[in-house]
Chain A
Amino acid sequence: MPNQQIELILSRQLADSLSIPVFLVDTKGNLLFYNEPAEELLGLRFEETGFMPAEEWSTIFKPQDKDGKLLPMESLPLVKTIRNRTPEHGEFWIKSLKGEFLKIAVTAYPIIGRPDRFVGAVALFWKST
């Protein structure tokens, strides 16, 4: 398998060094990596889930609004970032793989390498109050 592009390699390394939860996806939204704080929040180790298409990760955590209505995949910040190549932010509720309902805030940004190469996106998320 060819190596990932340098911007993704360095983003993963940065994510691996952070103590806030981080998701890393490719240009199609496929989940490439999430770090240890994200594992804690989501309730599953990355080694257990591995590579995951957007359709899967965007539903597996059951993102929903405050009334419990499931949110369409297209409304999620990371999915919007992939589609629009713009930074996005949002708050919603998820059901972690441990079964907990959590309100989370998500900020996503595109990874655009030289020279204007869109290679993926990063989402930072944390428990909201």
Chain B
Amino acid sequence: MKIKIWGCRGSIPSPGLEKNIYGGNTSCVQIIHENTCLILDGGSGIQNLGASLEPEITEINLLLTHLHIDHIIGLGFFRPLYNPKVKINIWGPSASKETLTRRLTRYFSPPLFPVRLNELPANIRINEINQSSFEIGEFKIFSEYICHPGPTIGYRIEHNNKTVAYLPDHELALGSAQFPNNTEWTSGYSLAQNADILLHDGQYRAADYDDKIGWGHSSMSDAIKFGKLAGVKKILLFHHDPLNSDLKLQELFNEAISDNPNNFVVELAKEGQTYVC
């Protein structure tokens, strides 16, 4: 499978010359195998993704981790939603009461957006998931609630003995005062276990996390420790802080690597980058 990152910035789209290397678009990752196209999250990166798709594409599967604005802000500008010939399956987390459709309608309605969800021309099917497993084409997909404010799921995607795990917003340390310790009591462990590529939240510098407990994100150090605990082959640190320039990100990354010696590949996720797994 081929994985392309269309957006890996956290919280808010933040373009700028000082962010040219890692990009300013928010969460959006595309996974392709033959004719099956999975899109993980609808952050601002999905606008460029939509423009890049072949016009003859007929089916798209959009897997949302949660509905924080940086993960859905691009949906209204995703071209296939305006094509009546395209079937779009949207998958996202169940909440306690409101349906996923109703929660998406909050974005797809005035005053936030002029076009309502039920006015979009595409053939849209909305699927609620929680602790779920299902198949899309040849992909086996597992979802599980993870530690982040509001209903939030992470994904594990398997194909042909290769695994990609996607936990872009995930606060590892909130669920465990002694993190990393016991895999059984670590949020997201089953999703990430032995993944070939793990895309994981690494928004903060370790020293800054203490001021942001409960905000739903992890430090780069915690993400690297989690990757080690889960035995992944490669981790891509994701959800870059919108205030961090490329230079700052590299500085924080070098610090995190220095503090956490490891024997697997650790990289900063980079907008536009493609990986083969």
Contact = CB atoms under 8 A, between A and B. Distances in A.
B91 to A, nearest CB: 14
A2 B190 CA distance: 5
Interface stretch (B44-52, B180-188, B240-248): B180-188
B122 interface: no
Given A1-B184, A3-B184, A10-B147, A115 B128 contact: yes
B93 interface: yes
B131 A17 contact: no
A30 to B, nearest CB: 13
Contact of A6 (B128, B175, B177, B184): B175
A116 B96 CA distance: 7
A19 interface: no
Contact of A115 (B94, B146, B177, B184): B94
Contacts of B186: 3, 9
Contact of B185 (A4, A7, A115): A4
A13 B177 contact: yes
Interface string A17-33: 10000000000000000
Interface in B4-59: none
Nearest to B95: A114
For the residues of B in contact with A, the DSSP-based class is loop
Given A2-B190, A6-B175, A13-B176, A114 B185 contact: no
A5 B95 contact: no
B52 to A, nearest CB: 34
Contact of A13 (B93, B144, B174): B174
Q: How large is the interface on B (under 10, 10 to 19, 20 to 34, 35 or more residues)?
A: 20 to 34
B77 interface: no
B176 A9 contact: yes
Nearest to B150: A114
Contacts of B176: 9, 13
A39 interface: no
Contacts of A9: 147, 175-176, 185-187
B83 interface: no
B216 interface: no
Chain A: interface size category: 10 to 19
A88 interface: no
Identify which of A5, A12, A13, A114 gathers the most chain B CB atoms within 10 Å of its CB: A114
B146 A6 contact: yes
Contacts of B131: 5, 117
A16 B187 contact: no
B189 interface: yes
Interface string A93-128: 000000000000000000001111100000000000
Contacts of B128: 115
10 contacts: A5-B144, A5-B145, A9-B187, A10-B147, A10-B174, A10-B175, A13-B175, A114-B93, A114-B96, A115-B128
Given A10-B147, A117-B130, 11 more contacts: A2-B184, A3-B184, A3-B187, A3-B190, A5-B144, A6-B146, A12-B185, A13-B177, A114-B130, A114-B145, A115-B96
